[in-house]
């Protein structure tokens, strides 16, 4: 089957207006939030599970690889199409199908925006806890694929801890259900193994998630510190008190500079680091623990501590953290975000090594990260228009990951492996380890036609620009 026939088959399933294939129209689908690019051969916009199943079945029969795409906010190249591949985008499948307040659960389609779900259920005094920094734009389907985290996952866990079950289309178009609407199910936890599989096992078309009650009280602390080392000491001090905050975030001096370039977040110009700590729970509990947190900040060298309880005031304290990545554009037009994880006790030492790498490669590196669980996000700032810069950035990023692994950490906490880190997998896993993972993938997708070329090393540089390979394709 040549491309024209395949295209007509797709149009027959979803409608002519829901298939994009001209080169100019495909440009916005060639990348996600990473540095890799490749044009898909076509993008299909199904409207329901039946259409997804038929599209994937046709692609399977034709030998065309398929990549699921949410809103393209991923940071590891997970939504980048392989050569000759198509994307199945979930822009039209964006409905909140049910909110069950009695059982504290919701049923959603994969294109639902994370924040839209949280906003909807707060009308019923409930919340959806996982809150990636891209919460305003990222979709639940993508969150499932990458097992996304966020600031409040320190206390509440990542996406996998909030997914009850899902309807999934496998690579041959068959439809299965994983998990259930109950909190616990017997047998193998296929729901758990699917979450975080980066689109290589199947594509979720309906997702059941658990909801939590809105806490009675919330208090946010902002601590200003002279340097990162002192702020790291404060992190350890809070945790050593036996306190597990809902969120514990840190931003460094370069990020503070960027934030202050674009908005007044109220940070002193000479601040070396900022800690954001949020407590949630019963009013008396938050009040009592809050006193301990504030004392720990002062005792470890904070030069200023501010607190807020009213929603508007708390939101103001979060402005700098939530807008940090966008603000970095005031320093450089491009960034490469590394997603390593280290033990909390190693934070200061690892950040010192990251600073060394910044000087060695002559690349500014800003740090904004989940300090509470050691999930670092060193952000390498650069201008891709300068020849050779991207290669240097990628080498520096690998050096950062090596430091994380050497400190007893790992490659990713929430962004996934995708294309970005697959060649670094041997830093953590043996060949036998990866063979075992591949055997699990093959149980779901034995022909490896769903998001192929991701996660596992193949020695092939994946980044490409505008490469289109489908025979007989019109332009």
pLDDT band at 462 (very low <50, low <70, confident <90, very high): very low
Decide if 466 contacts 41 (C-beta within 8 A). Answer: no
**pLDDT value for 1:** 79
**pLDDT value for 460:** 56
pLDDT band at 274 (very low <50, low <70, confident <90, very high): very high
Decide if 151 contacts 370 (C-beta within 8 A). Answer: yes
**pLDDT value for 264:** 82
Q: Please check the confidence at residue 472 and state whether its pLDDT lies above 50.
A: no
For the stretch 1-13, pLDDT in tens is 799 999 999 999 9
A 10 A CB-CB count for 449 gives 19
Q: Please check the confidence at residue 467 and state whether its pLDDT lies above 80.
A: no
Query: CA-to-CA distance for 169 and 177, rounded, in angstroms?
Result: 9
Sorted by where each starts, the structural domains of the chain and their CATH numbers stand as: 3-89 (3.30.43.10), 96-213 (3.30.465.10), 217-326 (3.30.70.2190), 332-427 (3.30.70.2740)
Query: CA-to-CA distance for 458 and 436, rounded, in angstroms?
Result: 16
For the stretch 136-165, pLDDT in tens is 999 999 999 999 999 999 999 999 999 999
What SS3 state is found at 310? Answer: coil
Listed ranges 94-103, 267-276, 304-313; the one with the highest mean pLDDT: 94-103
Q: What's the chain's average pLDDT?
A: 94
**pLDDT value for 392:** 97
What SS3 state is found at 418? Answer: coil
Query: CA-to-CA distance for 279 and 221, rounded, in angstroms?
Result: 8
Query: CA-to-CA distance for 117 and 95, rounded, in angstroms?
Result: 10
Instruction: Quote the DSSP letter at residue 81.
Output: P
Question: What percent of the chain has a predicted confidence (pLDDT) above 90?
Answer: 90
What SS3 state is found at 437? Answer: helix
Beta-sheet pairing, 203-210 with 163-169: antiparallel
**pLDDT value for 442:** 97
Query: CA-to-CA distance for 369 and 339, rounded, in angstroms?
Result: 9
In 3D, which of 17, 19, 155 has the Cα closest to residue 89?
Answer: 19
**pLDDT value for 459:** 76
Q: Please check the confidence at residue 343 and state whether its pLDDT lies above 60.
A: yes
pLDDT band at 266 (very low <50, low <70, confident <90, very high): confident
Q: Please check the confidence at residue 447 and state whether its pLDDT lies above 50.
A: yes
Query: CA-to-CA distance for 191 and 147, rounded, in angstroms?
Result: 12
For the stretch 191-209, pLDDT in tens is 999 999 999 999 999 999 9
Tell me what the mean pLDDT of segment 300-320 comes to.
Answer: 93
Tell me what the mean pLDDT of segment 81-101 comes to.
Answer: 97
Beta-bridge partner residues of 224: 274, 304
Decide if 376 contacts 280 (C-beta within 8 A). Answer: no
pLDDT band at 269 (very low <50, low <70, confident <90, very high): confident
In 3D, which of 134, 51, 62 has the Cα closest to residue 322?
Answer: 134
pTM here is: 0.93
For 358-389, the three-class secondary structure string (H helix, E strand, C coil) is HHHHCCCEEEEEEHHHCECCEEEEECCCCCCH
Decide if 6 contacts 474 (C-beta within 8 A). Answer: no
Q: Please check the confidence at residue 184 and state whether its pLDDT lies above 80.
A: no
**pLDDT value for 468:** 33
């Amino acid at each position: 089957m040549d491309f024209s026939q395949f295209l007509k088959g797709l149009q027959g399933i979803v409608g002519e207006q829901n298939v994009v294939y001209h080169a100019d129209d495909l440009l916005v689908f060639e990348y996600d939030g990473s540095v890799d690019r490749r044009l898909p051969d076509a993008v299909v916009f199904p409207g329901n599970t039946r259409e997804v199943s038929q599209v994937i079945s046709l692609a399977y029969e034709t030998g065309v690889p398929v990549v699921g795409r949410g809103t393209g906010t991923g940071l590891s190249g997970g939504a980048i199409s392989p050569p000759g591949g198509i994307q199945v985008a979930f822009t039209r499948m964006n409905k909140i199908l049910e909110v069950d307040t009695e059982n504290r659960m919701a049923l959603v389609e994969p294109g639902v925006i994370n924040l839209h779900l949280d906003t909807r259920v707060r009308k019923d005094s409930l919340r959806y806890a996982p809150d990636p920094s891209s919460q305003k734009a990222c979709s639940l389907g993508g969150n499932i694929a990458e097992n996304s985290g966020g600031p409040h996952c320190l206390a509440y866990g990542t996406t996998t801890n909030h997914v009850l079950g899902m309807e999934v289309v496998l690579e041959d178009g068959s439809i299965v259900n994983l998990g259930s609407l109950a909190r616990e199910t017997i047998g193998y936890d296929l729901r758990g193994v699917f979450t975080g599989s980066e689109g290589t096992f199947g594509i979720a078309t309906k997702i059941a998630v658990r909801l939590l009650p809105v806490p009675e009280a919330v208090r946010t602390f902002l601590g200003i510190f002279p340097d990162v080392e002192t702020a790291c000491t404060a992190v350890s001090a809070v945790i050593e008190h036996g306190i597990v905050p809902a969120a514990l975030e840190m931003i460094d001096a370069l990020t503070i500079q960027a934030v202050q370039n674009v908005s007044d977040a109220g940070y002193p110009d000479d601040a070396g680091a900022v800690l954001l700590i949020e407590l949630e729970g019963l009013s008396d509990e938050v009040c009592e623990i809050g006193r301990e947190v504030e004392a720990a900040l002062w005792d470890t060298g904070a030069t200023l501590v501010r607190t807020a309880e009213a929603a508007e005031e708390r939101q103001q304290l979060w402005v700098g953290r939530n807008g940090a990545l966008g603000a970095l554009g005031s320093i450089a037009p491009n960034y490469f975000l590394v997603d390593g994880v280290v033990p909390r006790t190693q934070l200061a030492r690892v950040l010192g090594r990251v600073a060394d790498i910044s000087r060695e490669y002559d690349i500014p590196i800003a740090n904004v990260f989940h300090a509470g669980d050691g999930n670092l996000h060193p952000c390498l700032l650069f201008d891709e228009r300068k020849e050779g810069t991207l290669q240097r950035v990628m080498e520096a990023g690998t050096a950062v990951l090596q430091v994380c692994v050497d400190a007893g950490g790992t490659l990713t906490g929430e962004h996934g492996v995708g294309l970005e880190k697959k060649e670094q997998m041997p830093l953590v896993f043996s060949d036998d380890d990866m063979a075992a993972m591949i055997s699990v993938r093959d149980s779901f997708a034995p022909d490896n036609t769903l998001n192929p070329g991701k996660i596992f090393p193949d020695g092939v540089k994946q980044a490409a620009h505008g490469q289109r390979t489908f025979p007989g394709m019109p332009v």
